[in-house]
Structures are given as structure tokens and as C-alpha cells.
Structure 1
Amino acid sequence: MQKMRTEEQTSTELQPELTEAELIAGCRAGNHQALDELVKRYHGAVLRVCVSLLGSRDVEDLVQDIFIKILRRINTFEGRSSLFTWIYEITANHCRDELRRRKHRRWFSLQSLPAESVEQIKANEASASDQMERDELHGHLRQALNQLEPKYRELIVLRDLEGLSYEEIAKLNKMAVNLVKSRLFQARKILTSKMKKFAEGYHE
């Protein structure tokens, strides 16, 4: 009996992770394991995008609504993009709708932007001095991003935070790849200029 339980436990532990195709098929079939796995696999990414686009960590209810929408629409996924890209599109559109409902508020606030949002502030283990510099840079980044137009800020989130390709960003925003590159270049230029001004003001 003990041997049987051990074998069952080992079998469970060694069960391979579902492939994307298996995950989609399972969700379409209403398989609870697949549904749970989809939420588990993409919850962090959806939450991160919501926090970045809405500027608040109090978005868990919104995340739940998004996953309900994702599961209801899973049969419409045609495989023309990765599952993540498809999920991101639903998430971004839901956030845009939420922003429209918040017209009386500022479009974007970066009080909760993750410290590793943009590559400039990524670092490995840092000394106390380096950490202070990171915190200072992070603060300037928040302030600068907070002043960007939504169309520019979203491109930075897509490319520098989520790591989407230019082609994926173009498809999500229904624009040409060259336009994405041009706007992203402009967005980074504006962002750098604003960060420089904040830094100069900080050290005056």
C-alpha cells in the first residue's frame, strides 16, 4: 500500500507541464485542471499589466473580470499569435475601457510601477550605495512616465516591461511596425529628457 502511494505521488510530481495547445484544448473542454493552470500561468502577467496601465495595485477584482472574459472567449482563439499576446490584447483593452470610466482621474499614475519595469533600472545584487542610486532613478522614472501621453507610455510598457516584439505591438495597436518603432523612439526620447530634468532638479 505504501509503495502504491509512493508511486502515485511520484507520478503526480513528474507529470509534465501542459503545452500551450494542451492548455487551450483543456480550457475549451471545460477541464478544471486546465482552467486552473491557465489562471496560474498568466495571473502574474495580467496583474502586472493592469498595475502598469492603471497605476494601482488594487486591481485584483479587475484581474478576475479579465480572466472570466478570457475563459469565455477561449473558443475564439485562432492561434494567429501566441496565447500570451492574445491574453495581453484582452487585458489591455479591458484596462482601456476602465480608463475611460475614470475620465475624471489622471490617465496614468506610476506609484506602484515595479522596480524592474524598464531595463535601465534592472540590476543584480547591489551595494547599499548602488541601491540608493537605483531608488533615486526609479523615482525619476516614475515621475517621467507619469507625464507621458498614454500612447507613448503604453508602448514603453509593451516593449520594455512585457518584452513584446515590434510585430506583436503593431498587431495589438493596429499600426505599422515602422510607426511602432518611430513612436517608441520618440517615447524613449521624451522619457529620457523628462528623467534628466527630474534628476537635475533633484540635485540642485
Structure 2
Amino acid sequence: MRFFARQPTDSDLIAGLEAGSVQRRQCEDRLYQKYAYLIADGARKHRLGEDDCASAYSDTILTVIENILAGRFEGRAELKTYIYQIFTNKCIDLIRKKSTQRDRVHDAISLDDSLLQLPDSARSVVQQLIAQSDVEHLRKLIGTLGEKCREMILAWGEGYSDEEIARQLNYNTAAVAKTSRLRCLERLRDLYK
């Protein structure tokens, strides 16, 4: 039976999947390609990204193949209808998963609310530890920027103006020092994220 001479029917695909070996692999590929348009349809209908829909579609095809080989596909509906229903369910599962994860973010208790539940003495100790941890982390990051950036940011943090920094670090003008300082701060901001 040669499958690539014409568009395979559902019966051809099912028989090829059950046959095994090379024929099975060819039928798996054909099955995937035959209904791949569902990816774009799913992205539009369910408002999911193409990658999410492609992943749901791949999972769908694997599930369908597994169900056919296990005898769970009884053929009461067309293969296309069967695939469409499983794909739709997988897309809905993705939507639920994403909305559940978003809801968890909103349920989070803020650190400030947690601190208010502590007694005053414990609250000040926790706040000091948090501040100390932030300062240590920031110092480490500043150290990775290089000597010139480190000196510039520390001087600026101590209240020196761009003009004073320019003189201290031998920049031509305060504008050049400011531009350099802003670049260093941008690099630090990227590292801090």
C-alpha cells in the first residue's frame, strides 16, 4: 500500500499506524501534517501563542496515536473530529493553567503585610536583615562592573555631582561623566534584574 501517491484517508492512516515499522512512521508524519492547520486556528480561536498551540497540537497527535494503538479510538466519529476535540481540550487546559498561575500571583501576601504581623522588635530585625542583604547584593553587582564604573557609582551615591565626578575621574566634561554614569547605572540595573 503506497500512502504518498494520494491524500491518505482515515482508514489508511489508522491501518498504517497499526502496521508498525517504516509505514507507521510515514503515517505519523502524514497524520501530523494533515491537520496541522489546527495550530493557526487554535491560536486565533483560543488567543494562545503559536508556540503554545503547536505544543498542544503535538500532544494531541501523540495522544491520538497512543489511543489508536491501544484500541481506544472506536471510529464512532471521523478522525478529524476526534483530533479537533482533543486539541480543543488541550488548548482549554493551557488557558486554565495560565489563568490559575496569574491568580496565584495576585494571591501573594506582600512582605510589608507579613512584617506587620510580627512584633516590633522582630519586625525591625527582619527589616535590617532585608536591607543588609540588598546592600550586599548591590555591592557584589557593582564590583562586577569594573573599576571606573564602580568608582563613579559610589561617588554619585555619596552625593558628588557629575562635575565633581568628571574632575575626580578625569573626564573632559560633566556631560561626558553623566553619560558614562548613566551607562554604568543601566548595566547595573540589567544585572540587578
For this structure pair, what is the TM-score category when the shorter chain's length is used for normalisation? Answer: 0.3 to 0.5
Structure with higher helix content: 2
Return the structure number with greater relative CO, CA threshold 8 A, min gap 6. 1
Give the structure with higher Rg (CA).
2
Q: With the length of structure 2 as denominator, give the TM-score of the two structures.
A: 0.42
Q: With the length of structure 1 as denominator, give the TM-score of the two structures.
A: 0.40
